[in-house]
Amino acid sequence: MSESAVEWPAVGLTLRVDGHEYPVPQVWIGDSLLAVLRERLDLDEPRDGCSIGECGSCLVTLDGRPAAACLVPAVAAADRDVRTPQDAAFEAAREAVVAANASPCGFCAPALTVAITDLLRRNADPGPAAIREALAGLVCRCAESGRWIEAVARAKEAGVGDGGTRGPAGGDSGEMAVLVIEAGETES
Partner 1 sequence: MGPDGFGPSGGDGGFGGGAGAAGPAGGHSVPVRSGGSPDGALVFGGEGERPGFELGTFEDDGGEDEIAGRSASAADSAAGRPGAPWSAGGSAGVNRAGDGSAAADAPTVMAAAGSGSDASGASWFAGSGGSGGSAAAGASGAPGGSGTAAAATPDGAGSVGAGSAGAASGAAPNPAADQPHLGPGLAGSAVTAARSLFGPQTVVEAVQVLAEHPDAVIIAGGTVAMPDITAGRRHPGAVLTLHRCAELRGWSTGSGEVLLHAGLTLAEMQQRDLRQQVPALNQAVRTVGAPHIRAVATLGGNLVVGPASADLPVVLAALGASVLVASADGVRTVTVSDFYDRDGVPQLAPGELVVGARVPVVEGMQGFMKIGVRGGISRAILSIMLAVDPARRSATCVVGAMALAGLPSGTGRGGLPTLLRADHADRWLAEQVDWDAAAIADPTVYETFGRLVADSLVYGDGSGTLGGGGDPYRRKAVEICARRALLRALPPLGWLDQVRELQKRADFQRAKQRVERAEVERAEQARNQDQ
Q: Which residues in 84-113 contact partner 1 (CB under 8 A)?
A: none
Query: Which 144-163 residues touch partner 1, going by CB under 8 A?
Result: none
Identify which of residues 66 and 110 has a Cβ nearer to partner 1 in the complex.
66
- How far apart CA 147 and CA 57 sit, in angstroms, is 17
The answer to whether the CB of 63 falls within 8 A of the CB of 81 is yes
Identify which of residues 14 and 99 has a Cβ nearer to partner 1 in the complex.
14
Query: Which 9-68 residues touch partner 1, going by CB under 8 A?
Result: 9-14, 16, 20-32, 35, 39-40, 51-53, 56, 59, 61-68
Neighbour tally for 146: CB within 10 Å: 11
The answer to whether the CB of 143 falls within 8 A of the CB of 103 is yes
**Dmax of the chain from CA atoms?**
72
Identify which of residues 18 and 96 has a Cβ nearer to partner 1 in the complex.
18
Shortest reach from residue 70's CB to partner 1, in Å: 7
